[in-house]
Amino acid sequence: MNFDLTEEQLAVQRLARDFADREIAPGARERDRSEQFPWEILAKMAPLGFLGEPVPEKYGGAGFDYLTHAVVTEEIGRADSSVRTTLSVQVSLVALTILRWGTEEQKRHCLPLLCSGQWLGCFGLTEANAGSDAANQSTTARREGRSWVINGSKMWISNGSVAKLALIIAQTDKTKGHTGLAAFLVETGTPGFKSRVMKGKMGLRSSDTAELILEDVRVPAEALLGQVGDGFKVAMTALDNGRYSVAAGCVGICQGSLDASTKYAQERIAFGRPIGQFQLVQELIAEMVVKTESARLLTYRAGHVKNQGLRSTRETSIAKYYASEAACWCADQAIQVHGGYGYSDEFPVERYYRDARVATLYEGTSQIQKLIIGEFQLGLRAFT
């Protein structure tokens, strides 16, 4: 692949960078402190096409390729991972899943509302006992005439209390295991659908996280996404896209940590000279550079594979695993460079540190990514 961005991609990168620096970064600390959801920012992002980057224009999207999607996501993640999380769920987990599995009617109805920001979406897969074991769904869906009735609950759902549309994975026949799963598009105003905001998170404090509760939620047959039995495949497709955007956002954390550390090391004077002249500080900066560039190139490679229309599970797992671990490392070492100031939210590296940690957990833990990568290499499946 050609690692040079095209003129169009560079123009979008400049637009995203300017927007992130002007509209997102300045208020990130206060939003984090107050756990304030970034409604105003999302409203400004929609006209730029950022809420529907890779969605075709005929469905209201910007029609960007996947590499451009990564470039935008990186810039948003560099400024504020809470905003990036909201964006990733909206685009990667919800919109792109509807684009892949939806009927023409579903796509024409839902996608313009999502891309314009009139609707926010959430992805309802995780449950109290179904995290890494995604097939172990307790939420059920039973057919009643022309309707489906859904009962159950979901945990740790990003955008859960602010979404107008929920993509819910439910079990239609417990005797069939993962082959009985189905996916449904559920409007959150449907009777019986409730959400409860989850507070007290370590990071991503201005993104929305909620528990979803579904009590006899009745949806029409047309709410089924794909076919009965496709639910597990729908979820895995969504996670392939979600992991890609998480990887890109983690590259943003790496870059933000590097930028902040470089500036601080050039300006902070100790023993009569900038601390950047000390060899051990230069070592930390150099390792940040290597990890940032490596994470970015792995993410770009995954984007290249996705642009070819090929299955990208292996490449996105590699990118997500490496970039999330690199983001944690870079944020940790950025605090070390900043010394005591790094422990305060006066500098963004403290927030980078807290925000990066969850990236090794959601969309599949680092351990799950290793099992996926190992299976591709060995041809032996670790999962039962």
**Which residue, 115, 135, 119, is CA-closest to 127?**
135
Going from the C-alpha of 250 to that of each of 20, 240, 268, 358, the distances in angstroms are: 15, 16, 26, 11
d(CA 245, CA 294): 16
Which positions are annotated as active-site residues?
A: 363
Containing 181, the helix (H) or strand (E) segment is strand 181-187
333-342 — which CB contacts under 8 Å span 24+ positions?
Answer: 333/257, 333/261, 333/284, 333/287, 333/288, 334/257, 334/258, 334/260, 334/261, 334/288, 336/284, 337/261, 337/264, 337/265, 337/275, 337/281, 337/284, 337/285, 338/260, 338/261, 338/264, 341/264
Going from the C-alpha of 269 to that of each of 56, 274, 338, the distances in angstroms are: 51, 4, 12
Tell me the Ramachandran region of residue 138: left when phi exceeds 0, alpha when psi lies from -120 to 50, beta otherwise. alpha
DSSP 70-107: HHHHHHHHHH-HHHHHHHHIIIIIIIHHHHHH--HHHH
d(CA 287, CA 302): 23
Neighbours of 79 (CB within 10 A): 25
